[in-house]
């Protein structure tokens, strides 16, 4: 990749068009921060200012416009927006108070929801979160619950509070309406995948993204795009799935295949990895890296994911062979022999590869398990477990045979009944008799069994 491609890793306007509202602005600002001082960063900042100028978030607009310098801010327009926002806030607050006075439940819910929308448009995420949560007590149908949960989830993702994201995903999934609407189900799974990604639960994230219905593709652009689902799901799957899981959940998954078609680089990456074309696979990863470094959600996980994918590729390459020529392997992975030896040594130390390295002859020899010894050890463990289970069953059978067990409720009832009347006799079948030590307790042998001569 030349310097020009590094400075401009992708078409910025086409990238921004995949998102709406806050998501577009936040991604552009993230790129501007990462590419600060470059033409690409300035272009991202300029697009962000243009987007903010059309929004109600005047405070954010002024902050970002100040970074560009100059007198591009229209003060008269800002003052007009501030006046309109203050008037709208007063009107919404008066309407909400009126609804509360009249105790109209549905109107109260809509009033809180409108207040949440107002605060969200102004960029006051904490106030928007509180307003959306307040609608919970006034929801009268599953549809209302889903709307409330999706609003809270969207705001929580922007706030970075993924505990709330998971909690409200669970609340929404408990409603029957979720199963009837694939778009809603897709949004919940995509948000769940994002939460799992941030928690570094890559396997769970891969499963969530792989389950996103294709109907959601362009319906969640205020949070994620279809390309994001393909990239996040594909990388997490390669880093955490084994071959059978990769085949069933990704390659043979018709729904997820639709998302990969939107991003051909990810499709080729997954197919090359599964087809053991490691040089091509690593080339795709290299080409994707500049764009992924500018992604606000996955950039912090790239080193871990890339290292895991490479390690799995190395393990997968060596598994079928009893010996591997290191120069040939180094050529396949586009690396030098000394670097490859270090990688293989780390995998051997972590027990991911059972092998030894002949550094002189540059050969990796597989260390196969002694199948005969392993079979005998398994048989011995199974026999010992069977013997222990059999002893336990015999002990229980003898205890039941000699009535050396207290039935539930019997001891207390009889102890206050017949046992209490017989007093010192302690005989008969009263509670006192069962609670007393059995005269043949000492007959339990070394194996934990009751003496079979007991009558």
Distance CA 414, CA 37 (A): 89
Distance CA 286, CA 30 (A): 21
**Confidence band of 128 (pLDDT split at 50, 70, 90):** very high
Element (H, E) at 193: helix 182-198
pLDDT over 60 (residue 427): no
State the DSSP string of 36-80. TTSHHHHHHHHHHHHHHHTSS-HHHHHHHHHHH-SS---HHHHHH
Distance CA 416, CA 411 (A): 9
Contact residues for 169 (Cβ-Cβ < 8 A; gap 6+): 149, 153, 188, 191, 192, 195
pLDDT over 60 (residue 83): yes
Distance CA 136, CA 396 (A): 54
Residue 175 is given by DSSP the state S
pLDDT over 80 (residue 449): no
Cα distance from N-terminal residue to C-terminal residue, the chain: 90
Which comes out higher in pLDDT, residue 327 or 72?
327
- pLDDT, tens only, 375-410: 888 899 999 999 999 999 999 888 888 888 666 655
**Confidence band of 370 (pLDDT split at 50, 70, 90):** low
Q: Which value, in Å, is the radius of gyration of the alpha carbons in the chain?
A: 33
Contact yes or no for 31/12 (Cβ under 8 A): yes
pLDDT over 50 (residue 444): no
Name the pTM for this structure: 0.75
- pLDDT, tens only, 96-117: 999 888 888 889 999 999 999 9
Q: Which residues pair with residue 369 across a beta bridge?
A: none
Which comes out higher in pLDDT, residue 371 or 230?
230
For the chain, the average pLDDT equals 84
Residue 353 is given by DSSP the state S
Nearest Cα to Cα of residue 44 among 35, 56, 53, 57: 35
Which comes out higher in pLDDT, residue 64 or 432?
64
Nearest Cα to Cα of residue 186 among 196, 178, 198: 178
Q: By percentage, how much of the chain surpasses pLDDT 70?
A: 86
Distance CA 345, CA 338 (A): 11
Tokens of 76: 């008269």
| pLDDT the model gives residue 7 | 60
Q: How many other C-beta atoms are found inside a 10 Å radius of the C-beta of residue 401?
A: 11
Distance CA 341, CA 361 (A): 12
pLDDT over 80 (residue 348): yes
pLDDT over 70 (residue 414): no
Tokens 């339990």 appear where? 444
Which comes out higher in pLDDT, residue 259 or 427?
259
């Amino acid at each position: 990749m030349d310097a020009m491609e590094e400075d401009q890793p992708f078409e910025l306007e086409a990238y921004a068009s995949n998102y709406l509202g806050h998501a577009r602005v936040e991604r552009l600002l993230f790129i501007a921060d990462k590419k600060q001082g470059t033409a690409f960063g300035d272009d991202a900042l300029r697009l962000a200012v243009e987007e903010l100028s059309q929004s109600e978030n005047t405070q954010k607009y002024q902050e970002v416009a100040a970074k560009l310098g100059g007198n591009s801010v229209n003060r008269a327009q800002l003052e007009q927006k501030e006046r309109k926002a203050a008037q709208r806030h007063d009107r919404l607050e008066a309407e909400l108070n009126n609804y509360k006075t009249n105790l109209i439940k549905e109107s109260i819910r809509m009033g809180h929801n409108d207040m949440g929308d107002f605060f969200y448009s102004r960029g006051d995420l904490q106030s928007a979160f509180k307003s959306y949560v307040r609608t919970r007590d006034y929801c009268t149908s599953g549809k209302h619950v889903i709307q409330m949960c999706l609003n809270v989830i969207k705001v929580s993702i922007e706030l970075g509070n993924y505990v709330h994201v998971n909690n409200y995903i669970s609340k929404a999934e408990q409603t029957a309406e979720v199963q009837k609407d694939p778009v809603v189900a897709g949004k919940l799974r995509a948000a769940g995948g994002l939460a799992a990604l941030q928690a570094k639960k890559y396997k769970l994230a891969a499963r969530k993204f792989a389950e996103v219905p294709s109907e959601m593709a362009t319906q969640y652009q205020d949070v994620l795009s279809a390309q994001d689902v393909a990239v996040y799901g594909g990388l997490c799957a390669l880093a955490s799935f084994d071959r059978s899981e990769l085949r069933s959940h990704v390659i043979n998954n018709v729904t997820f295949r639709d998302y990969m078609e939107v991003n051909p680089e990810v499709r080729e990456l997954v197919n090359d990895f599964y087809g053991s074309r490691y040089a091509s696979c690593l080339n795709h990863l290299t080409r994707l890296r500049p764009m992924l470094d500018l992604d606000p959600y996955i950039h912090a996980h790239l080193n871990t994911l890339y290292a895991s994918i490479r390690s799995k590729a190395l393990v997968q390459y060596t598994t079928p062979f009893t010996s591997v020529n290191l120069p040939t392997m180094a050529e396949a992975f586009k690396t030098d022999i000394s670097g490859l030896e270090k990688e293989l040594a780390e995998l051997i130390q972590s027990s991911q590869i059972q092998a030894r390295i002949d550094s002189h002859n540059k050969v990796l020899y597989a260390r196969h398990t002694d199948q005969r010894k392993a079979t005998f050890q398994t048989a011995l463990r199974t026999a010992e477990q069977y013997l222990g289970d059999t002893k336990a069953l015999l002990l229980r059978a003898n205890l039941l045979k000699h009535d050396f067990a207290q039935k539930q409720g019997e001891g207390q009832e009889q102890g206050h009944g017949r046992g209490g009347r017989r007093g010192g006799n302690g005989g008969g079948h009263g509670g006192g008799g069962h609670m007393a030590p059995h005269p043949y307790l000492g007959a339990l042998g070394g194996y934990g069994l009751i003496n079979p001569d007991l009558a």
